[in-house]
Amino acid sequence: MSGEHHSSTISAQVRRVEALLEERGLLAPGEVDQRIDEFAAGGTPANGARVVARAWVDPGFRDRLLADANAALPEVGLSMAGGLQEQRLKVVANTADVHNVLVCTLCSCYPIALLGPSPSWYKSEAYRSRVVRDPRSVLAEFGVTVPEATGIAVWDASAESRYMVLPRRPQGTDDLDEAGLTALVTRRGLIGTALV
């Protein structure tokens, strides 16, 4: 079965389930699209950048974030709620010993609330298959050279679980406040395909 045919079959099934829910009065017409739009509207990489900057300046928040990200997010006014159930978020920290990178090998599961809409390359079959097999080469294509002594951990998202990378704080940023640090963090850094 070709990927295009499979996708159109699933789309047709989803539309049929949505229509049945509307017919039975369980959903208002257009409610699914409205909720998706509302959820996506609040999602931006600036949210993830705020979380990272707070973790860089507040060691207690960093510890709580790494232990239970869902419980720590409300401290900065964020959450992983937005769908029918809260998604589990695990934040993984880059260190001198390990560099983390994210992928969803099955589709493109991704923490939209914290990183905004996923980039097209994240959804591509090439990225999804290659980053698992040869992460060092894929990272090099993004301009990230990870020392041979540093391990690379690839985190595979799922429908229930999402991941976000906590990049290492850049050297020479001791004079920056939280807002200044927030401005340094990129969406690619939150995915692991950039250092910050």
Q: For residues 185 and 62, what is the distance between their CA atoms, to the nearest angstrom?
A: 16
Looking at 7, 11, 107, 129, which residue is catalytic?
107
Query: Is 158 a catalytic site residue?
Result: no
Query: Is 118 a catalytic site residue?
Result: no
Query: Is 7 a catalytic site residue?
Result: no
The DSSP-derived string for the chain is: --HHHHHHHHHHHHHHHHHHHHHTTSS-TTHHHHHHHHHHHH--HHHHHHHHHHHHH-HHHHHHHHH-HHHHGGGGT--S--SSSPPEEEEEE--SSEEEEEE-SSS----HHHH-SPPHHHHSHHHHHHHHH-HHHHHHHTT----TTSEEEEEE--SSEEEEEEPPPPTT-TT--HHHHHTT--HHHHHTSS--
Residues with catalytic function? 104, 107-109
